[in-house]
């Protein structure tokens, strides 16, 4: 039995939660299609044809688009959210639906069949209408989608460039085992050396460095 006189909200649940978050930040005096287009990132024509009529039906705004401040304040308040949802259900939906399906969230199929019979709408519209009714029936503020944290931009690591007066050439680590016999009572000792030689060092200076190494380290 199609009831053409009675209308029911055809509002996406995601839109319901997004708009509530915006009302938490600031309640607009008038809700226009441009306001909704900016807030919900949608086309103004879609806001005018699909969102505003439903907000009027719910009672959040009047025929001129003015916000029902009292209802909006209670709606955005977590402590009053349940009461607001129950009030909307009582005002819009017939007792027949409420009494026929006691647990809408657990019997979605029954809810969809009811709307399909009483509205004559297609499957897509019926599913959206049913989802919104179930969200109102649950009246559970914890069901709102969690906001994803913004990704932090990757930090750029700046590698310091060597100054002109810093050494640019590196000598590979020198490692030569000792030729002396080491008593087994003592641990083996390995020495690793790393020498930095300036790029402007002359060949004679480099030779003297290695001569000094041989003299003081290897006893040659």
Assign 3-class secondary structure to 178-214: CCCCCCCCCCCCCCCEEEEECCCCCHHHHHHHHHHHH
Token pair belonging to 76: 């955005």
Domain boundaries, given as residue ranges, for the chain: 13-143, 169-216
Residue whose entry in the numeric block shows the structure tokens 């978050």 = 21
Tens-binned pLDDT, residue by residue, of the chain (220 aa)? 676 668 999 999 999 999 999 999 999 999 999 999 999 999 999 999 999 999 999 999 999 999 999 999 999 999 999 999 999 999 999 999 999 999 999 999 999 999 999 999 999 999 999 999 999 999 999 988 766 555 555 555 555 555 555 555 444 444 445 455 555 555 666 666 667 676 677 777 777 777 777 777 666 5
Within 13 Å of residue 7, how many CA atoms lie on the same side as its CB?
A: 9
| DSSP 8-state class, residue 160 | P
Distance separating alpha carbons of residues 132 and 97, to the nearest angstrom: 14
**3-class SS at 41?**
coil
Distance separating alpha carbons of residues 116 and 129, to the nearest angstrom: 10
Q: Quick one: how far is CA 158 from the chain centroid?
A: 29
Q: Are strands 169-174 and 193-197 parallel, antiparallel or unpaired?
A: antiparallel
Distance separating alpha carbons of residues 10 and 132, to the nearest angstrom: 7
């Amino acid at each position: 039995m199609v009831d053409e006189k009675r209308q029911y909200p055809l509002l996406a649940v995601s839109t319901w939660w997004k708009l509530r978050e915006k009302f938490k930040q600031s309640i607009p005096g008038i809700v226009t299609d441009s306001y909704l287009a900016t807030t919900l990132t949608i086309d103004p024509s879609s806001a005018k044809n699909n969102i505003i009529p439903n907000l009027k039906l719910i009672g959040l705004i009047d025929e001129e688009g003015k916000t029902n401040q009292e209802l909006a304040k209670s709606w955005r308040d977590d402590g009053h959210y349940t009461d607001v949802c129950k009030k909307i259900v009582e005002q819009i939906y017939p007792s027949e639906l409420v009494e026929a399906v006691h647990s809408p969230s657990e019997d979605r199929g029954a809810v969809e069949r009811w709307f399909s019979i009483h509205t004559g709408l297609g499957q897509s519209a019926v599913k959206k209408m049913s989802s919104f009714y179930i969200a109102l029936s649950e009246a559970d503020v914890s069901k709102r989608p969690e906001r994803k944290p913004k990704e932090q931009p990757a930090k750029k690591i700046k590698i310091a460039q060597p100054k002109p007066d810093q050494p640019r050439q590196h000598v590979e680590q020198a490692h030569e085992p000792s030729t002396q016999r080491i008593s087994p009572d003592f641990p083996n000792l390995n020495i690793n050396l790393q020498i930095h030689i300036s790029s402007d060092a002359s060949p004679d200076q480099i030779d003297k460095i290695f001569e000094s190494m041989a003299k003081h380290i290897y006893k040659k």
